[in-house]
């Protein structure tokens, strides 16, 4: 029986830490563009503001619209439970593996797309159709990356992947594929833009356009958590070395520094990519994610060749 | 370490398959050549052959700096639209590239020795680059993209030579480099003339007689 205290602590770390990554990315982006940019803590202020506001729900909305944010948030938290953060093991050992993680994300996305269709606003329908288009392309690439990791490590259980696998070419290629997919999943620059609400280009924002107040805050928090989960996975696959978890204070400090350092590197890479590329046409998404798919296949090939 | 470079070569060659514009194609050729330079340099470090250092330096100077620079200058000069003219769209090209990878892996499996040279992964990458270069020459319309295809094939042959026998003899290599360099110069000039004469560089329109 897993310790409930540890589960609560684990989820708490995820919820508290996740918005910081978004703040960090937007800070780096703004600094790269020679702007001062918003504060690192701005996502927290946004969440606090949204939680304290009242909300407006369309008269035509059914229970799906009301329930969907909770489903999305719950699926993000559930995914977070599979990924180790401050211990070598995940808080729920043996419950879910990498493949389960993919489909738990898909569950949240399914509910979000349903909710966007529910109010029958034209933007919602457009947003969910685009989101489904992109995710249908992203999922095979993600699966391919997972298969490569499976071929390499012999397991899809996330803590054992973290524990057993060293640096390898197949791991790096799989991490590249995961990175490209994470760009798509977190609705970042070449495929989507988080910064604008321009009606022609928005994907994720179009889906959540009808939401306000607390429910919007839940959806935003869920997307922060999802982003953190994906970045953690990439970080762990690129830099698989985990310092030993001893109780000595210096050791704990070192492992925390290592943990944050990796995340900062990934965040910087994302920010750099976002600043340096232009938004793609929607149908170029097939090229972008097709490339991610092929990278996943290269990773599998390298795993078969044993390099 | 060598494996990472080979994977990078593969990825840059896939980038060529999905490139739709000339600068993107040249950029991916540059990445590919840079990976080739790194690979040669590492072999030179491991085997301590002074000739290989010179060859690595030549790769860097010619294929990473000079030839891409020349090609960029040509596309800047001819001012046609930068589309490279696809017969097969990027997704299908990517799919074809996957098939090529698989086939070259099969062929490499027959040819490679269980240990030592030639290594399966190097042979796979080399065959794949040669077939991808051929693919670019056949299925792209403009002359410049076909030049890149030829250069990719040349890169693949270089990798093949270093996979099979640890590199061609020094003087052969030098001769090949000057050959490639001269051919790029001449073909670049040729493309420029074609563009002046016909106001486009689409080679498929060249078969029609000019009135």
- The conformational region for residue A176 under phi > 0 = left, psi -120 to 50 = alpha, else beta, is alpha
**Residue labelled with tokens 């000339």:** B22
Segments making up each domain of chain B, as ranges? 2-205
pLDDT (tens digit per residue) in A6-28: 888 888 888 998 999 999 999 99
Give me the pLDDT at residue A268, please.
94
Of A300, A159, A162, A122, the closest CA to residue B105 belongs to A300
Model confidence band, residue A216 (pLDDT cutoffs 50, 70, 90)? very high
Q: What is the count of structural domains for chain A?
A: 1
pLDDT (tens digit per residue) in B58-98: 889 999 999 999 888 888 887 766 677 788 888 889 889 98
B105 interaction partners in chain A (CB closer than 8 Å) = 301
Give me the pLDDT at residue B21, please.
85
Of A185, A172, A166, the closest CA to residue A289 belongs to A185
Which residues does residue B142 pair with via DSSP β-bridges, in sequence order?
B202
A173 interaction partners in chain B (CB closer than 8 Å) = 7, 11
pLDDT (tens digit per residue) in A129-187: 999 999 999 999 999 999 999 998 888 888 888 777 777 888 888 999 999 999 999 98
Pairwise pLDDT comparison (A5 vs B203), residue with the higher score: A5
B120 touches chain A (CB under 8 A): yes
Q: How far apart are CA A244 and CA A252, in angstroms?
A: 9
Whether A246 has a pLDDT exceeding 60, the answer reads no
ipTM over 0.95: no
List Cβ neighbours of A183 (8 Å cut-off, separation of 6 or more).
Answer: A189, A190, A191, A270, A273
In this prediction, residues A290-303 reach a mean pLDDT of 89
Could you count the other beta carbons within 10 Å of the beta carbon of residue B134?
Answer: 16
Instruction: Identify which of B3, B6, B98 has the shortest CB distance to residue A294.
Output: B98
- Asked if the Cβ–Cβ distance from B101 to A173 is below 8 Å, we say no
Q: How far apart are CA A186 and CA B178, in angstroms?
A: 48
A1 touches chain B (CB under 8 A): no
List Cβ neighbours of A158 (8 Å cut-off, separation of 6 or more).
Answer: A82, A83, A84, A90, A97, A98, A101, A233
Pairwise pLDDT comparison (A241 vs B2), residue with the higher score: B2
Domain membership of residue A264 as a residue range: 4-305
Of B66, B94, B180, the closest CA to residue A137 belongs to B94
List Cβ neighbours of A295 (8 Å cut-off, separation of 6 or more).
Answer: A141, A145, A173, A174, A176, A177, A180, B11, B14
Give me the pLDDT at residue B211, please.
56
- Asked if the Cβ–Cβ distance from A291 to B124 is below 8 Å, we say no
**Tokens standing for B150?**
């030829």
Chain A 149-208, CB below 8 Å of chain B: which residues?
Answer: 168-169, 172-173, 176
Instruction: Identify which of A176, A291, A301 has the shortest CB distance to residue B105.
Output: A301
Chain B 181-210, CB below 8 Å of chain A: which residues?
Answer: none
Q: How far apart are CA A157 and CA A99, in angstroms?
A: 9
Model confidence band, residue A86 (pLDDT cutoffs 50, 70, 90)? low
In this prediction, residues A253-260 reach a mean pLDDT of 77
- HSE (CB half, 13 Å, CA atoms) of A214? 6
Whether B131 has a pLDDT exceeding 90, the answer reads yes
For residues B17 and B93, the answer to whether their CB atoms sit within 8 Å is yes
**Tokens standing for B34?**
């840079």
- Asked if the Cβ–Cβ distance from A172 to B4 is below 8 Å, we say yes
Model confidence band, residue A112 (pLDDT cutoffs 50, 70, 90)? very high
Chain B 3-22, CB below 8 Å of chain A: which residues?
Answer: 3-4, 6-7, 10-11, 14-15, 18, 20
> Packing angle between helix A285-305 and helix A122-153, nearest 10 degrees?
10
For residues A200 and A208, the answer to whether their CB atoms sit within 8 Å is no
Of A173, A47, A58, the closest CA to residue A119 belongs to A58
In this prediction, residues A76-103 reach a mean pLDDT of 82
- Asked if the Cβ–Cβ distance from A287 to B124 is below 8 Å, we say no
């Amino acid at each position: 029986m897993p310790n409930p205290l540890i589960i609560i602590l684990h989820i708490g770390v995820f919820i508290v830490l996740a918005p910081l990554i978004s703040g960090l990315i937007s800070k780096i982006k703004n600094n790269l563009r020679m702007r001062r940019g918003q504060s690192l803590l701005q996502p927290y202020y946004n969440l606090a503001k949204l939680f304290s506001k009242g909300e407006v729900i369309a008269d035509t909305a059914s229970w799906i619209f009301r329930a969907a944010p909770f489903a999305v948030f719950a699926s993000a938290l559930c995914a977070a439970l599979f990924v180790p953060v401050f211990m070598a093991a995940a808080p729920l050992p043996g419950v879910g593996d990498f493949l389960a993680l993919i489909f738990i994300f898909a569950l949240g996305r399914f509910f979000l797309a349903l909710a966007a269709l529910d109010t029958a606003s034209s933007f919602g329908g457009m947003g969910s159709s685009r989101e489904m288009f992109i995710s249908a392309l992203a999922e095979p690439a993600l699966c391919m990356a997972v298969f490569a990791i499976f071929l390499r490590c012999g397991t899809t259980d996330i803590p054992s992947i973290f524990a057993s696998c060293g640096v390898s070419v197949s791991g790096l290629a799989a991490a590249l594929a995961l990175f490209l997919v994470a760009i798509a999943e977190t609705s970042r620059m070449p495929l989507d833009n988080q910064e604008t609400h321009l009606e022609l280009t928005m994907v994720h924002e179009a889906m959540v356009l009808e939401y306000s107040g607390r429910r919007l805050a839940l959806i935003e928090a869920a997307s922060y958590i999802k982003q953190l989960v994906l970045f953690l996975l990439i970080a762990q696959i690129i830099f698989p070395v985990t310092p030993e978890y001893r109780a000595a204070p210096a050791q704990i400090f070192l492992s925390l520094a290592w943990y944050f350092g990796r995340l900062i590197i990934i965040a910087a890479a994302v920010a750099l990519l976002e600043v340096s590329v232009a938004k793609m046409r929607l149908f170029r998404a097939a090229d972008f994610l097709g490339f991610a798919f092929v990278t996943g296949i290269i990773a599998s090939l390298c795993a078969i060749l044993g390099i | 370490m060598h494996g990472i470079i080979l994977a990078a070569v593969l990825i840059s060659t896939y980038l060529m398959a999905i490139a739709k514009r000339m600068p993107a194609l040249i950029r991916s050729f540059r990445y590919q050549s840079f990976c080739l330079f790194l690979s040669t340099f590492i072999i030179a470090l491991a085997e301590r052959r002074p000739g290989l250092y010179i060859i690595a330096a030549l790769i860097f100077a010619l294929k990473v700096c000079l030839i891409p620079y020349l090609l960029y200058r040509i596309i800047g000069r001819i001012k046609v639209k930068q589309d490279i003219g696809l017969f097969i769209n990027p997704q299908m090209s990517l799919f074809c590239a996957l098939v090529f990878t698989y086939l070259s892996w099969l062929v490499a499996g027959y040819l490679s020795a269980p240990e030592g040279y030639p290594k399966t992964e190097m042979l796979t990458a080399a065959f794949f680059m040669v077939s991808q270069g051929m693919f670019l020459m056949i299925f792209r319309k403009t002359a410049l993209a076909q030049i890149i295809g030829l250069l990719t094939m040349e890169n693949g042959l270089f990798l093949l030579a270093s996979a099979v026998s640890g590199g061609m003899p020094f003087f052969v290599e030098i001769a090949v480099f000057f050959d490639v360099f001269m051919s790029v110069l001449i073909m670049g000039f040729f493309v420029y003339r074609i563009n002046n004469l016909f106001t486009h560089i689409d080679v498929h329109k060249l078969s029609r007689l000019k009135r």
